[in-house]
Amino acid sequence: MMSKMMIPVSILKPDFLGIDRSVDSKIYAVKQVMRNLTLALAIICITSSLGAQTADEWFDKGLESFRWQKTDEAAVYFSKASELAPGRDDFFLYLGLCYHENGSFQSAEEVYGKGISLDGGMRDRLLLNRGNLRMTRGDFEGASDDFSRIISSGGPLAASAMLNRANLELNHASYSSALEDYTSYLVMDSDTPQRETIEKIIGLLGARLAADAEAARLAEEQARLEEERRLAEEARLAEEAARRAALMEEVLESLSDSGEETKSISAGTEGLREEFEDSALED
């Protein structure tokens, strides 16, 4: 129930574009095979109609297409720019965004990874987008690792990463960690417009954790009482077994004593008989 209240997060785009399109809100009806064919045709048309250009010129063309939401076309331009200037992590950021929005998640993750490995100025942006992508793909550990790396750096995107990690933990029922991260996020971004919603989530998480703690206490108490009853029953059975053993020993000892008395009487009788027979013979 709590996971339904998760704060929605969109992939991160540079601010100067003024664009806010969420990957998760789109449904792509075109099959991947047709998309790849369209992309291949676009590459042929673009490269044949345009002569050799600089990486920055390819990048500018990509930005123009990206503004008009022509992400397939923009991906061609950004890919060309990244080939000509493989040390520019911003080229990989935009190329990854195109793949991300088109639903080509594996390609997007690979491109984000290339940009992250450059350890440049867009590192945290790339990490945040890859973390969101991994969250979409169900890679809990990978997404958490990306967000944690941003938080550890303490950069301007640390608060966003903290919120994303809290959402991730909430969605995977890690309530204690989620509560801690949501609380930390409100400290890091005290003016967030989502404060009221997050405070409600924090309240629900606190109540849930308290209920879980009480349930755990009652279960522990129940287990303790059952263990005490078990030990008491074992002690009773042991005592009863000891009592029966003592009684059996007493009976056996009594029988042993009776046997000795019978043997003594019999031996005395045999002596008397012998004496009687000897007396009779003498007579």
Q: Tell me the CA distances in angstroms from 131 to 39, 143, 147, 149, 234, one per residue in order.
A: 26, 4, 6, 10, 56
pLDDT at position 21: 39
**270 within some domain:** no
Which H, E and C letters describe 15-78, residue by residue? HHHCCCCCHHHCCCCCCHHHHHHHHHHHHHHHHHHCCCCCHHHHHHHHHHHHHCCCHHHHHHHH
**248 within some domain:** no
198-202: average pLDDT:
96
CA gap 73, 44 in Å, rounded: 11
| The two structure tokens encoding residue 242 | 């000891």
**231 within some domain:** no
- pLDDT single digits (tens) 72-131: 999 999 999 999 999 999 999 999 999 999 999 999 999 999 999 999 999 999 999 999
* 51 pLDDT tier (thresholds 50, 70, 90): low
CA gap 140, 179 in Å, rounded: 17
Give me the domain span that covers residue 178: 2-192
CA gap 12, 122 in Å, rounded: 11
pLDDT at position 7: 56
Count Cα atoms within 13 angstroms, Cβ side, for 225. Answer: 6
- pLDDT single digits (tens) 227-237: 888 888 888 88
How many other β-carbons are positioned within 10 Å of the β-carbon of residue 268?
10
**209 within some domain:** no
pLDDT at position 29: 39
207-215: average pLDDT:
88
59-73: average pLDDT:
95
How many other β-carbons are positioned within 10 Å of the β-carbon of residue 176?
12
pLDDT at position 16: 36
CA dihedral 240, 242, 246, 251 (to 10 degrees): 60
6-27: average pLDDT:
44
**82 within some domain:** yes
Please give the span between the terminal C-alpha atoms of the chain, in angstroms, as a whole number. 117
Residue at 280: amino acid letter:
A
* 281 pLDDT tier (thresholds 50, 70, 90): low
Residue at 138: amino acid letter:
G
Residue 140 and residue 178 in contact, taking contact as beta carbons nearer than 8 Å: no
pLDDT at position 3: 45
**212 within some domain:** no
Q: What is the mean pLDDT of the chain?
A: 81
Instruction: Please report, for the domain that includes residue 66, its CATH number.
Output: 1.25.40.10
Answer whether 0.75 is exceeded by the pTM: no
**Residues contacting residue 215 through CB under 8 Å, at least 6 positions apart:** none
Lookup result for tokens 């606190």: 206
Q: Select from 118, 116, 175, 121 the least CA-distant residue to 142.
A: 116
- pLDDT single digits (tens) 226-271: 888 888 888 888 888 888 888 888 878 887 766 555 555 455 555 5
pLDDT at position 27: 37
**280 within some domain:** no
- Give how many domains the chain has, as a whole number: 1
Helix intervals (H) in the chain = 32-49, 55-67, 71-84, 89-102, 105-117, 123-136, 140-153, 158-171, 175-188, 195-282
**104 within some domain:** yes
User: Of 42-56, 208-222, 261-275, where does mean pLDDT reach its minimum?
Assistant: 261-275
42-64: average pLDDT:
73
Count Cα atoms within 13 angstroms, Cβ side, for 161. Answer: 25
pLDDT at position 218: 84
Residue at 123: amino acid letter:
R
